[in-house]
Structure 1
Amino acid sequence: MQRWPTIAIKAIAILTGLIFLVYVSIAVYINFNKKELLTAINKELNSSLNGSLVIGSMEPSFLKGFPGISVSLRDVSLRDSLWKTHQHTLLQAKDLDVSINAIALITGTIRINRVGINNARIYLFTDSAGYSNTSVFKKNNKVKNKETEGGSTAEIRRLSLNNVAFILDNRQGHKLFRLAIKSVKGKIDHTGDGWKAGVNLNILINDLAFNTRKGSFLKDKLMNGSFSLRYNNETDVIDLEKKEVSIGEGDFQIGGKFDMSKKPVEFVITLDSDELEWKDASSLLTKKIAGKLNKFDLTAPIAVKAVIAGNMVPGSQPSIDVSCKVKNNVLTSPGGIVDKCSFTGVFTNHAQKGKGNNDPNSLIKLYHFTGDYEKISFTMDSVHINDLTNPVATGTFRSKFPIVRLNQVFGEDLLKFNGGVADVNLVYKADMVDLELRKPIFKGTINIENADIDYQPRKLNFKNSSIGLRFTENDLLIKNIQVQSGSSIVKMEGSVKNFMNLYYTAPERILFNWEINSPRINLGEFLGFLALRKRVKTVKKRNSGFMDQLNVVLEKSNVDMRMRIDKVIYDKFTATDANANLTLSESGIKMKDISVRHAGGTLRLNGSVLQKGSLNHFKINTKIANVNIRDFFYSFNNFGLQTFTHKNLKGFLFSRNTISGSVTDMGKIVPRSLNGTVIFDIRKGALIGFEPIMGVGKFAFPFRDLENITFSNLNGKFDIRGEKVTINPMMVNSSVLNMNVAGVYSLGKGTNIALDVPLRNPKKDADITDKKEIQERRMKGIVLHILATDGDDGKIKFKWNKNHK
């Protein structure tokens, strides 16, 4: 028994020596016959190719591949038969090493220990018609049967590539992959049901374009890491185990699957990163997409998961699904900065089944988006951005915040907010241009409480204001509005039909319908509506587009107001039970069916105010009934008259007037601007201390009391033309005297009034009841013909009317 170990050792030694002798013999044979062998190899390989394989030289490497047979092939090139047409060489290598296991070869198994490709260029080319230079390899339709034909399939154990340029140029499918392979080292273990491999790589990705018309992914990015692959013969699937790989500046866990059983081959690649910088992520995408994403930024890294799936069909675009989680981050966007930003995001380029993987079928979803914008906290439960070719954003927006913070968002040129709280709950839809929302359409509510707002174009201030806005599909409903300006309190409700459609396309057609009630309005606190609306300067700043459009709407829209006011005050004027229908437009104000109670009577008015420059041109028709004339004149500052004032009047006025003129933006009537007609009837009236009459009395009726002249009824017609008032022939029947009056009274120069005054004392006819007799006796006796004209001192002078006929 002790002899068997010795015999075994000797046998192994002899066997090893024989193998070594065989190896040396083969190596020596190759070395001395390499020229003939190279010629034979070239001939044999070219016989199975649709093209040509050229090997410049072959050198055996004794120590490189021991115990295998190793050869180094120099200047290797492989070209297809149509190379002269397209000029793209499939393989061009300066150095190609192959090592075959000599012992396995003796047993009939071809085991390639190592294949090394160095300083090479691999160019896989497909032209626009579908022809590929890989057709250099002849197709063999015969299926080899190992049991009947013997032999074995070659098994490669190690593969390495160093300094290899790899190009896949598929012009039919518009695909271009360009890789600068610095180093790839792979180890392959063959199992009974397939193989498994580990690969370490260091590759510069110059281009990864699945569709060259869309641009390249991973442009000029360095990939460094390791992969584990497993192939199953039965399923014909290559599984890529998830491993950490660096791409550019980011670290990813990459996995996937390649289904070789499908024709064409289908693949799924997954990329995960727990901490990825926004700029690093965007730099991995196409230039076009990155350009859009770079308008945004997130301060802290985010967690990202991506799945890319597709096939090798010419022109196909892979499906892309990306999800990310953002928590307590800072988002920078074209619209501003969002602090404390958190959301879950999802992207897909195949939103609807059957419509392809493309931009029009792309969808971005953002869930539970929260943050602070200009210190305004908000929540968007869901945001959808559909169709990246013509993107449309839809979503919800909820926020409750101090309204003063809007000054930071929109500026203070149009509206200045000084206090109050806004509660916003909206569903919106908007186009996106350069990743900014344009022309949003809203549904939902905006409620504002206790607001203090300055409307800058008209210098109006509203305090303790409450506003309720409700946006429906098309209309705007405005509820429970209460505004206070000074001592005025206004309660309003209103609506705008078709508001959302007209807001952007035709603001001049917008009509606000208001129902207004108020216990008290001081018109002096709203004089801003008489002033020309101040133009708001466009400021180049964030959100200026929204405020510019709002400014246009406020400037061009129309307002129809139905007003019910308990008490109206303006300067000296006071009225009650006011009712009015007003229409406000860009050009001015239209007044319809205005009625008030004033000075014991009623006033009714229709008319308009046209704004031009710094003046307001008005035209009104009025009816006055049973108004205390003294109070009436006092309330309107005697209508600009200097000589004839409320102090000279007593009685009750009935009048119909058509007057036009101008009023300043301070509510003052412009002197000498009035034009129109005044038809009046004064009942139970009196003239008190009226200078023209007293002037006549000084020399005509020295013994009559002209300080207080009473009359039961006085009517007449005045035609007003600027500074001149034409007194149509008018009979004055009073307690002191009778007279006929006609002529022109001027507020400047040009007074010329004819007065025909009988000396007969009206008291003598006091007992006569026959009106006809009274009329006949009225002008009997001596009649004085007096002319009132301008004096040198600016006062009215009286003289005999020499021109009387």
Structure 2
Amino acid sequence: MPKWLKTSLKIIAGFILLIVVVVIGFTLYITYNKTKVLKMVNDQLAKSVDGTLTIGDMSPRFFKGFPDVSLTLKNVIIRDKNFAQHKHTLLDAKDFNISVNTAALFRGTIDINHIDISDAAIDLFTDSTGYSNTAVFKKDHKKVKDNPSEGSSSTQLKEFSLSNVTFTVDDRKAHKLFNFAVNDINGKMNYPDSGWRAKFHSDVMAKSMAFNSLRGSFIKNQQLKGDFDAGYNEKTGKINVSVLPLNIGDSPFKINAVFATADKPSATFTINIVADQILWRRASSLLAPNITEVLNRFNISKPMDVTCNLNGSFGGNDGGPKIYVTAKVKDSKITIPGGDLDNCSFDGIYSNNYVKDKGYGDDNSIIKLTSLKGTYNHLPFTIDTGSIINLEKPVATGNFRSSFPAADLNWFLQDDVAKFNNGSADMNLRYTADVVDYKINKPIIRGSINLRNTDIYYLPRNLKLKNSSISLNFIGNDLVLNNIRLQSGKSIVTMEGRVKNFLNLYYNAPEKILLTWQIRSPQLYLGEFLGFLSERKSAPAAKRRGNSGNIVDQLSTVLDKGKAEMHMQVAKVYYKKFLATDARADLLTTDNGIIIQNIGLKHSGGSLTINGRMMQGKALNKFAVNTTVSHVNMREFFYAFNNFGLQDFTYENLQGFLSAKTNITGGITDAGNLAPHSIAGNLDLSLRDAALLNFKPLMGVGKFAFPFRNLKNIRIPKLDGHFTVNGDMITIKPLEVSSSVLNVDVAGFYGLTKGTDIALDIPLRNPGKDSLITDKVELARKRFKGIVLHIRAHEENGKMKIGWNKNHK
């Protein structure tokens, strides 16, 4: 063996022997002087703490981890000086094992190769004033300055492990509570020039991770497992941590975190979390209870991609952390309070710092959805940007667009208001709404809704409209309706309308809504709108939702309680036998009927004006009108109005021109017919150039009194009469009839069914030539000249009897 080799082996053997001797000596020294050494360690360590540090027992572990020097410390307890007040022990470790590099000791460096802590509790406590039990480690900077040699040696840790360790950060001032049950943490460290790096495996139960204990914990009672890669840079003062992946329960997450410690009053952190294809309910279960409670009112059927960024500090009282979450959802069913959205896709953002420098909380939170598309009750829709701001008093805003076949509205309205067929619909709306109990409530709307070439069956009025178009425009607080074309059978109507202050009244006072219409029509067949005579049909009780705040639920309520003011101009109006031209009307709908103002029309060569009202009822619709009839053809007039319900006196008995003023009430059926014998009121008639043809009551009198005169055609140049109608009975006020056949004074009662009792005073002279007398005084003198018959026509036992009027005076 070469000499140099022998020499080298001797040196190495000597060095190893020296280390063995040192280790053995160190071990034996501690073994035989344990009490003394333990006291020295306790005393020395106690100098560097502001409180108490005790080690219950210490023993060497001979050759365990050789050539390192290994010690086992038992019952290590560290408490600060205020422990008696707060009762939080900083460290309580049953087993604290440490291995120190022997060679490093000769260099004056404490190089800890391994620390193993088990059955321990670490409790970092800060009270409401900001005092922390970590103050136990505060250094005496003055002493270090006076004697720089003290504390100048560096300490390095190579390996570490923890098992069955409880770690708690309880900050009462900042309302933060972190509590972890460490099943196993083990790893290794190295020390490049810039700081240190560590790789370790962690198996931890997160019992509490409350950045704000007033709101609850994130990932509460979740098992955390993963392999971490961490590093510290002395220049930046930042600790970087990444774990790919970290399994939280059964869900894998990609996590990167940065903890900044330099030049900060407390450590700050940034945590970035990525979860690919995680279910909504699983993600919500990992958040704080105040957030989970909100999110669990919703659901998304398919997994989604989520990222989460947390920024905050472990000290102070900022109410953090700042949270920023993104989500990508594709083709999912979304359940929301009050309904489901199908085939939904969107990009979502949540932030609890909507307005900078206003804190982190529900009142400063925003949920923003972009590129949202889906279907609701078969209606496709898109919302380019939708937001919910301030989760304490939520306000929703967004741009809503939709185009679809008009028939799809049937799903939306649920047969409460109308049914649609054919045609198309589109909506372009900007909305702002309160969110009450997580439902859109009382939205304020801007934009338009358009229906084109659609068939509408308006259910409350049993009204069917064909090939109709409607445009609704929300401008300011007003609703403007234009480009409206309605067709029902042969009737065609064009309309424009406006509701002032619509959006304020729609939910809060629907009974005050007044829709002002301008209506024009070339031809209107009233029989096609008889549905407006019947009582409005409300939604079934099971569906009636009242003022829920939802715009659709409220629609039926508005249609029930709202009013319409209609200004109509119609070229031709048809109703059964009735035809009018140049019709105009001002109508006002009420809760139970229609107020009629200024109806004017041309008919039968004359004109009519009508004012009054109609009240709807279950059995019969009642009306009260004042009518002025000017110079209409009587025959056509009575024909058009079906003889006004009279049976013995019809249009076939009449010729001439009629002017009249009426103030009457009556009834009209849902079919648009006058209810028999329902008319009551006053009637003033004025006849010109009239004739009474084949009127049986007078013909009966004629057979009795004037058998040789032609009573089939009685010419009446002029007649003014006053009548009172009361159901079946017409009161004839004293009436002078001067005709071509006879003169007669008439008074009494005419019963439509029974009760007729009429007094007739008839001169026997023939007045056929009286028309040649121009002197009114002479004509009046001759009118009753000669013999006058006083006749009574009355009903007796259901039969009409004609006889002398014995009661005449």
Return the TM-score normalized by structure 1: 0.96
Q: Kindly indicate whether residue 614 of structure 2 is the aligned counterpart of residue 644 of structure 1.
A: no
Partners of 2:152 and 2:586 lie apart in 1 by 105
Partners of 1:116 and 1:103 lie apart in 2 by 21
Matches within 5 A, 1:20-99: 20-99=20-99
Matches within 5 A, 1:324-403: 324-403=327-406
Partners of 1:88 and 1:406 lie apart in 2 by 65
Question: How far apart are 1:800 and its partner, in Å?
Answer: 0.9
Q: Which residue in the other structure is 2:805 paired with?
A: 801
Partner of 1:13, secondary structure, is helix
> What fraction of aligned residue pairs are identical, expressed as a percent?
47
- Coordinate RMSD, CA, aligned: 2.0
Q: Kindly indicate whether residue 266 of structure 2 is the aligned counterpart of residue 264 of structure 1.
A: yes
Q: Which residue in the other structure is 2:503 paired with?
A: 500
Cα contact 1:754–1:801 (8 A) shared by 2: yes
Cα contact 1:538–1:544 (8 A) shared by 2: no
Q: Which residue in the other structure is 1:252 paired with?
A: 253
Letter in 1 for 2:16: T
Partner of 1:217, secondary structure, is coil
Partners of 1:47 and 1:338 lie apart in 2 by 68
Partners of 1:434 and 1:150 lie apart in 2 by 62
Cα contact 2:227–2:243 (8 A) shared by 1: no
Cα contact 1:93–1:119 (8 A) shared by 2: yes
Residues 1:525 and 1:63: Cα distance change in structure 2 (over 3 Å): farther
Question: How far apart are 1:341 and its partner, in Å?
Answer: 2.0
Partners of 1:62 and 1:636 lie apart in 2 by 124
Letter in 1 for 2:730: V
Question: How far apart are 1:270 and its partner, in Å?
Answer: 0.9
Q: Which residue in the other structure is 2:465 paired with?
A: 462
Partner of 1:157, secondary structure, is strand
Residues 1:661 and 1:263: Cα distance change in structure 2 (over 3 Å): same
Residues 1:105 and 1:552: Cα distance change in structure 2 (over 3 Å): same
Matches within 5 A, 1:627-776: 627-776=632-781
Residues 1:337 and 1:143: Cα distance change in structure 2 (over 3 Å): farther
Partners of 2:754 and 2:637 lie apart in 1 by 27
Partners of 2:526 and 2:366 lie apart in 1 by 54
Partner of 1:553, secondary structure, is helix
Partners of 1:43 and 1:306 lie apart in 2 by 48
Question: How far apart are 1:539 and its partner, in Å?
Answer: 4.1
Letter in 2 for 1:524: G
Partner of 1:240, secondary structure, is strand
Partners of 2:714 and 2:148 lie apart in 1 by 145
Question: How far apart are 1:641 and its partner, in Å?
Answer: 1.4
Return the TM-score normalized by structure 2: 0.96
Partners of 1:425 and 1:160 lie apart in 2 by 63
Q: Which residue in the other structure is 2:213 paired with?
A: 212
Letter in 1 for 2:22: V
Cα contact 2:92–2:121 (8 A) shared by 1: yes
Q: Kindly indicate whether residue 780 of structure 2 is the aligned counterpart of residue 778 of structure 1.
A: no
Q: Which residue in the other structure is 1:510 paired with?
A: 513
Question: How far apart are 1:111 and its partner, in Å?
Answer: 0.6
Partner of 1:669, secondary structure, is coil
Question: How far apart are 1:417 and its partner, in Å?
Answer: 1.9
Residues 1:764 and 1:299: Cα distance change in structure 2 (over 3 Å): closer
Matches within 5 A, 1:164-313: 164-241=165-242, 243-261=244-262, 262-313=264-315
Partners of 1:567 and 1:766 lie apart in 2 by 40
Partner of 1:352, secondary structure, is coil
Question: How far apart are 1:778 and its partner, in Å?
Answer: 0.6
Partner of 1:355, secondary structure, is coil
Partners of 1:201 and 1:161 lie apart in 2 by 9
Letter in 2 for 1:339: D
Question: How far apart are 1:46 and its partner, in Å?
Answer: 2.8
Partner of 2:306, secondary structure, is strand
Partner of 2:211, secondary structure, is strand
Letter in 1 for 2:53: L
Partners of 1:694 and 1:150 lie apart in 2 by 141
Residues 1:104 and 1:540: Cα distance change in structure 2 (over 3 Å): farther
Residues 1:66 and 1:538: Cα distance change in structure 2 (over 3 Å): farther
- 1:64-114 deviations in whole A, cap 9, x for unaligned? 332111112222222223323222222222211111111211221101111
Question: How far apart are 1:118 and its partner, in Å?
Answer: 0.6
Cα contact 1:93–1:118 (8 A) shared by 2: yes
- 1:723-781 deviations in whole A, cap 9, x for unaligned? 22111111101111000011111223332211100101112534433222111011011
Question: How far apart are 1:540 and its partner, in Å?
Answer: 5.7
Partners of 1:660 and 1:434 lie apart in 2 by 51
Partner of 1:211, secondary structure, is coil
Q: Kindly indicate whether residue 142 of structure 2 is the aligned counterpart of residue 127 of structure 1.
A: no
Partners of 2:543 and 2:614 lie apart in 1 by 35
Q: Name whichever of 187-196 and 664-673 sits farther off.
A: 664-673
Partner of 1:500, secondary structure, is helix
Partners of 2:679 and 2:45 lie apart in 1 by 113
Partners of 1:136 and 1:697 lie apart in 2 by 133
Letter in 2 for 1:757: I
Letter in 1 for 2:192: T
Letter in 1 for 2:502: F
Cα contact 1:157–1:189 (8 A) shared by 2: yes
Partners of 2:236 and 2:400 lie apart in 1 by 50
Cα contact 1:532–1:614 (8 A) shared by 2: no
Letter in 2 for 1:7: T
Letter in 2 for 1:126: T
Match of 1:610 among 609, 615, 624: 615
Cα contact 1:42–1:53 (8 A) shared by 2: yes
Partners of 1:284 and 1:112 lie apart in 2 by 38
Matches within 5 A, 1:111-126: 111-126=111-126
Partners of 1:515 and 1:313 lie apart in 2 by 68
Equivalenced residue count is: 804
Residues 1:198 and 1:538: Cα distance change in structure 2 (over 3 Å): farther
Question: How far apart are 1:453 and its partner, in Å?
Answer: 1.6
Partners of 1:161 and 1:255 lie apart in 2 by 23
Residues 1:307 and 1:526: Cα distance change in structure 2 (over 3 Å): same
Q: Name whichever of 51-60 and 301-310 sits farther off.
A: 51-60
Cα contact 2:266–2:316 (8 A) shared by 1: no
Partners of 1:783 and 1:4 lie apart in 2 by 177
Q: Name whichever of 91-100 and 296-305 sits farther off.
A: 296-305
